[in-house]
């Protein structure tokens, strides 16, 4: 009887210990999350432009490029970085058990010190003595068995609280997988967790052999590839643990991607404009993609897979992007960004960053003449063949391998690439986070000033004429982001040999020293008639049939074999030294995009003619600027149908019954709703309406007057007078309270389930 009681006592104590552990962890998570939320609130209130901010006492502002992608996949959001709050977050401790209970009991007295990370362990113990509190007195649990030490499980990997505090209520993890999270030129080991309605990306965590999640400090790495392992731990011996929660319904698309020329990655695009790049073990990638599709079946048709790269044909009756580009329904920029996406180029991986062409060759004139063909670069030739002498030297290099009886497979014109991590970082070195990336690639400091990107003209001359090891192309930011041309963060970039101190980028004379004017004219050059008529030849070089093979040799467009994914079967290379050498080469010098076309790319229709042969209304001035409609009044034609009858024959069966409040132009027609109502992107099939006497708001379906879901949470902020819906999950409102509110809502099975105030 005594032995049975002892056994039951131990079982009960172990059960209580487990409950105690979970209870304490959840309390710690709640407190830690509250402390972080308080820091964010403090940052908003005391920011130099906040209601209680003091500009005289604030630190020098720093700016960073946000990862948000807007229309046409352009990243234009520049965010302010609060250095003080960032350092506070880095110092925020995860409290041990007695410090946590003490802090909880004395929250009001010492909250300020704790929130600023200034409370050390000794200070906490002294404060505890003053209050006369002891952690053993704050628990009703019986004393644990002698062999079970409570500190073991309380102190073991407390960083896991970061994951717990992100868990949704009643969350249940159904699957775990080891991943590497790629951002820029760095990779962090992590764990991917699948829940019921959400999935979680945990950075700087590992999956143990027993399927337990630990931080990288308390468990050995689970990455089997030695090169990826070194990449994850090279610059992050001490990493910051993070956990991000995402709803399956927030996923817009998932693309099957390459990483280091291996088909082992996924890029997840979210409806809010952000994306994540995940690298898996060899056999895990496709399994994970299928698991995502099981939670969100619509992803099967939205994801870019090997079978979906048919650009010339479409299974349905809709136009392809190629047809839209030919008919000038989309811009050159949009089409190039689309091809980059199909070819596996990603903002998240600097080794395969989106590539754009040099379009101009005139960087010395006072005015830019877009009607002169000599103003433009020869788009039918790669950067290594822009001059006759330069082309001859590269052909000679190619032939020297054959004459020396070398390996024919190693014959190439160029041993460097037109796009690499160092090229991307050098272009954007004046803007964070690329400044840190550039310094990391250069061994911790800036490069010699004369070798840094300081002048558009000198960079063009180097890549097109002077430097035999420089064949770089451009990046998308040259056509939409003027901020990267200025040294807004006041970095000390060094001094050139002629005494010039590096600061802002030196612009061509026709830009008048104005980065915004440079971007405007450069974008106009990209959309000009000359570039539109010859862009398909550049596409042949980068994405098409001249990418490799005999056509590439003839076009002087062959690169080192290590740059090509289809030529390097890394899985069959058994020698780890050889494989590591190849991967290191790829990591440092870049990789060729996926080949999208095996036949010559068709040209774009000439300006002024559509595919049907009819004249178009739009025309460009010599400067490339689209003129206002009144300059071509002779081309405007009156409709033979009156406005009232036009509504009856419109593609819309349900047009607004009152004053128009919101208009959206889609590919199939024009959508419109009445006053106090907005359409929700990107499908535009749902509406958000307001202005009711009871201060409620409603969600409904487009074309129906019936409200599907009604919320009363907006009543606390007065009557809503205006609203806008910038994304598929965000609504911004304002009204009689003069307060601008940002709301988040979630769509589950095509129904709005909740509406929460974000800020």
pLDDT in tens, 281-331: 877 899 999 999 998 887 775 555 444 445 555 444 456 889 999 999 899
Q: Are residues 133 and 111 in the same domain?
A: yes
Q: Are residues 284 and 227 in the same domain?
A: yes
Q: Are residues 453 and 535 in the same domain?
A: yes
Domain-ending residue, one of 272, 291, 308 = 308
The pLDDT of residue 580 is: 84
- Taken in order 573, 576, 577, 582, the sign of the CA dihedral is positive
| 679 touches 687 (CB < 8 A) | yes
Cα separation, 182 vs 198, in Å, equals 21
Q: Are residues 144 and 218 in the same domain?
A: no
Q: Are residues 24 and 122 in the same domain?
A: yes
Number of domains in the chain: 4
Q: What is the pLDDT of residues 326-347, one digit of tens each?
A: 999 899 999 999 999 999 999 9
The pLDDT of residue 109 is: 37
| Cα 584-589-595 angle, rounded to 5 deg | 105
Cα separation, 115 vs 386, in Å, equals 59
| 99 touches 121 (CB < 8 A) | yes
The pLDDT of residue 147 is: 31
Q: Which residues contact 483 (CB under 8 A, 6 or more apart)?
A: 63, 65, 78, 431, 515
pLDDT category, 622, cuts 50, 70, 90?
Answer: very low
The secondary structure of 21-53 as a DSSP string is HHHHHHHHHHHHHHHHHHHHHHHHHHSTTSTT-
Q: Are residues 213 and 293 in the same domain?
A: yes
What H or E segment, with its residue span, contains residue 708?
strand 707-711
Q: Are residues 89 and 181 in the same domain?
A: no
What H or E segment, with its residue span, contains residue 751?
strand 751-757
| 66 touches 72 (CB < 8 A) | no
Structure tokens at 479: 């056509």
Q: Are residues 140 and 215 in the same domain?
A: no
Q: Are residues 247 and 142 in the same domain?
A: no
Domain-ending residue, one of 273, 290, 308 = 308
Q: Are residues 230 and 196 in the same domain?
A: yes
Q: What is the pLDDT of residues 39-63, one digit of tens each?
A: 878 777 777 667 777 666 555 678 8
| Cα 681-682-683 angle, rounded to 5 deg | 100
Structure tokens at 390: 């330069």
State which of 101-105, 174-178, 612-616 shows the largest mean pLDDT. Answer: 174-178
Q: Is the confidence at residue 148, as pLDDT, over 50?
A: no
Number of Cβ atoms within 10 Å of the Cβ of 606: 12
Q: Are residues 368 and 491 in the same domain?
A: yes
* 346 in any annotated domain: no
Domain containing residue 516: CATH number: 1.10.1540.10
* 293 in any annotated domain: yes
Structure tokens at 734: 């304002």
Please state the φ and ψ torsions of residue 105, each to the nearest 5 degrees. Answer: -70, -35
* 360 in any annotated domain: yes
**What SS3 state is found at 536?**
helix
The strand pair at 251-259 and 262-270 is best described as antiparallel
pLDDT average, residue stretch 639-647: 47
State which of 58-72, 209-223, 428-442 shows the largest mean pLDDT. Answer: 428-442
Q: What is the pLDDT of residues 536-573, one digit of tens each?
A: 999 999 999 999 889 999 999 999 888 887 667 777 77
Q: Is the confidence at residue 186, as pLDDT, over 70?
A: yes
The pLDDT of residue 375 is: 95
Domain containing residue 298: CATH number: 2.30.29.30
* 673 in any annotated domain: yes
The pLDDT of residue 80 is: 80
Q: Which of 744, 710, 742, 751 is nearest to 723 (CA)?
A: 742
* 425 in any annotated domain: no
pLDDT average, residue stretch 515-520: 95
**Cross-strand pairs, 192:** 177, 201
Number of Cβ atoms within 10 Å of the Cβ of 236: 16
* 740 in any annotated domain: yes
Share of the chain above pLDDT 70, in %: 77
| 236 touches 186 (CB < 8 A) | yes
* 334 in any annotated domain: no
Structure tokens at 395: 């052909």
Lowest mean pLDDT among 131-140, 638-647, 732-741: 131-140
* 606 in any annotated domain: no
Domain-ending residue, one of 547, 574, 589 = 589
Cα separation, 700 vs 720, in Å, equals 17
Share of the chain above pLDDT 90, in %: 37
User: Average per-residue pLDDT in the chain?
Assistant: 78
- How far is residue 340 CA from its own chain's centroid? 14
Q: Are residues 165 and 129 in the same domain?
A: no
Q: Is the confidence at residue 532, as pLDDT, over 50?
A: yes
Structure tokens at 709: 């879901």
The pLDDT of residue 224 is: 79
Residue 674's domain comprises 658-757
Q: Which residues contact 545 (CB under 8 A, 6 or more apart)?
A: 551, 595, 597, 598, 599, 600
Strand extents, DSSP E, 248-346: 251-259, 262-270, 275-279
């Amino acid at each position: 009887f005594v032995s049975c009681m002892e056994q039951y006592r131990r079982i009960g104590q172990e059960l209580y210990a487990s409950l105690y552990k979970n209870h304490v962890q959840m309390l710690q998570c709640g407190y830690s999350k509250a402390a972080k939320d308080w820091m964010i609130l403090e940052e908003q209130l005391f920011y130099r432009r906040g209601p209680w901010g003091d500009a005289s006492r604030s630190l020098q502002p720093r700016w960073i490029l946000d990862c948000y992608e807007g229309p046409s996949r352009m990243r234009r959001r520049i965010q302010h970085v609060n250095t003080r709050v960032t350092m506070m977050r880095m110092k925020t401790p995860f409290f041990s058990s007695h410090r946590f209970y003490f802090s909880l009991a004395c929250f009001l007295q010492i909250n300020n010190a704790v929130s600023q990370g200034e409370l050390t362990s000794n200070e906490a113990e002294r404060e505890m003595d003053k209050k006369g509190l002891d952690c053993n007195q704050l628990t009703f649990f019986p004393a644990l068995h002698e062999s079970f030490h409570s500190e073991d499980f309380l102190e073991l990997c407390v960083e896991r609280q970061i994951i717990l505090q992100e868990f949704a209520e009643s969350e249940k993890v159904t699957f775990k997988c080891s991943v590497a999270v790629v951002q820029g030129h760095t990779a962090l080991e992590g764990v991917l967790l699948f829940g019921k309605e959400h999935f979680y990306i945990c950075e700087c965590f590992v999956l143990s052999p027993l399927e337990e999640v630990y931080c990288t400090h308390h468990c050995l790495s689970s990455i089997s590839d030695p090169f990826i392992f070194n990449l994850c731990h090279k610059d992050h011996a001490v990493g910051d643990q993070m956990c991000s929660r995402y709803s399956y319904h927030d996923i817009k698309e998932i693309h099957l991607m390459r990483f280091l020329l291996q088909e082992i990655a996924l890029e997840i695009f979210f409806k809010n404009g952000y994306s994540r790049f995940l690298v898996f073990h060899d056999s895990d990638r496709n399994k994970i993609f299928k698991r995502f599709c099981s939670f969100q079946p619509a992803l099967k048709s939205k994801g870019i897979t090997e079978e979906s790269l048919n650009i010339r044909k479409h299974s349905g009756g809709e136009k392809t992007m190629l047809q839209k580009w030919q008919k000038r329904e989309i811009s050159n920029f949009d089409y190039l960004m689309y091809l980059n996406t199909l070819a596996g180029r990603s903002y998240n991986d600097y080794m395969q960053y989106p590539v754009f062409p040099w379009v101009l060759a005139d960087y010395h004139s006072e005015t830019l003449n877009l009607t002169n063909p000599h103003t433009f670069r020869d788009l039918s030739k790669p950067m290594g063949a822009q001059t006759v002498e330069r082309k001859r030297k590269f052909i000679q290099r190619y032939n020297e391998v054959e004459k020396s009886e070398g390996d024919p497979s190693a014959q190439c014109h160029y041993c460097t690439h037109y796009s690499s991590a160092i090229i991307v970082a050098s272009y954007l070195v004046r803007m964070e986070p690329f400044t840190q990336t550039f310094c990391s690639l250069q061994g911790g400091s800036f490069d010699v000033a004369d070798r840094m990107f300081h002048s558009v003209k000198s960079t063009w001359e180097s890549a097109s004429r002077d430097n035999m090891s420089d064949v770089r192309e451009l990046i998308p930011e040259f056509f939409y982001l003027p901020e990267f041309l200025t040294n807004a963060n006041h970095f000390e970039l060094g001094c050139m040999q002629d005494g010039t101190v590096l600061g802002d980028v030196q612009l061509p004379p026709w830009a008048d020293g104005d980065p915004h004017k440079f971007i405007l004219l450069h974008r106009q050059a990209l959309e000009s008639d000359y570039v539109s008529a010859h862009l398909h030849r550049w596409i042949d070089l980068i994405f098409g049939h001249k990418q490799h093979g005999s056509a590439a040799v003839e076009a002087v467009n062959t690169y080192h074999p290590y740059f090509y994914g289809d030529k390097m079967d890394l899985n069959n290379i058994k020698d780890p030294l050889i494989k590591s050498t190849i991967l290191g080469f790829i990591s440092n010098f870049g990789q060729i995009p996926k080949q999208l076309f095996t036949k010559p790319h068709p040209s774009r229709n000439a300006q002024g003619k559509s595919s049907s042969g009819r004249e178009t209304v739009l025309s460009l001035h010599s400067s490339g600027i689209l003129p206002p409609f009144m300059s071509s009044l002779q081309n405007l034609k009156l409709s033979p149908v009156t406005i009232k009858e036009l509504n009856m024959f419109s593609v819309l069966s349900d047009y607004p019954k009152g004053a128009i409040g919101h208009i959206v132009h889609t590919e199939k027609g024009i959508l419109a709703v009445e006053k106090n109502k907005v359409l929700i992107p990107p499908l535009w099939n749902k509406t958000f309406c307001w202005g009711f006497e009871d201060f409620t708001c409603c969600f409904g379906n487009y074309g129906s007057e019936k409200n599907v879901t009604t919320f009363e949470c907006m009543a606390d902020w007065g009557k809503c007078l205006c609203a806008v819906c910038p994304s598929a999950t965000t609504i911004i409102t304002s009204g009689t309270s003069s307060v601008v509110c940002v709301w988040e809502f979630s769509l589950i099975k095509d129904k709005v389930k909740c509406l929460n105030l974000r800020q």
